């Protein structure tokens, strides 16, 4: 079965909204991420002072992002249009010393 990002986001939002499961669900991911970190960087074990996990529900709540997305532009066919990139994704801005970075900027 193939799931779209939207479907996965909806499933996560539904699970996270359940008050009894939200924190436990997040703690499971925190443990998974910490273990993966320690696997690749063993010297980090016992040195994590604070860990914060953000979910699509967090983005929906704090950023007013209805679908929980907060990272970059939506990946639609229009997103890859060359004219759009020429017009909007120049790394040099009109503000002196301010440059755009990231995947979408043209080199």
Q: Is 99 helix (H, G, I), strand (E, B) or coil?
A: strand
Q: Which of 46, 99, 49, 106 lies closest to 81, judged by CA?
A: 106
This prediction has a pTM of 0.45
Q: Are residues 60 and 21 in the same domain?
A: yes
Give the domain extent around 82: 73-107
User: Do 58 and 18 share a domain, yes or no?
Assistant: yes
Q: Mean pLDDT throughout 98-104?
A: 78
pLDDT tens by residue, 6-18: 555 666 666 656 5
58: exposed, middle or buried (C-beta count within 10 Å: 0-12, 13-18, 19+)?
A: middle
Q: Are residues 15 and 52 in the same domain?
A: yes
Q: Let me know: does 26 contact 12? Beta carbons within 8 Å.
A: no
Give me the number of domains the chain comprises: 2
pLDDT in tens, 27-83: 888 899 999 999 999 999 999 998 888 777 777 777 777 765 666 666 677 777 888
Residue 107 has pLDDT above 80, yes or no: no
Q: Judge if 15 and 65 occupy the same domain.
A: yes
């Amino acid at each position: 079965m193939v799931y779209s990002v939207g479907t996965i986001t909806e499933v996560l939002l539904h699970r996270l909204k359940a008050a009894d499961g939200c924190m436990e669900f997040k703690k499971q991911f925190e443990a998974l991420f910490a273990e993966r970190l320690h696997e690749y960087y063993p010297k980090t074990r016992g040195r994590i002072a604070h860990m914060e996990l953000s979910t699509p529900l967090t983005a929906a709540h704090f950023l007013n992002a209805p679908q929980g997305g907060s990272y970059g532009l939506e990946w639609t066919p229009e997103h890859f249009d060359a004219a759009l990139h020429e017009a909007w994704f120049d790394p040099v801005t009109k503000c002196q010393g301010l440059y755009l970075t990231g995947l979408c900027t043209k080199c």
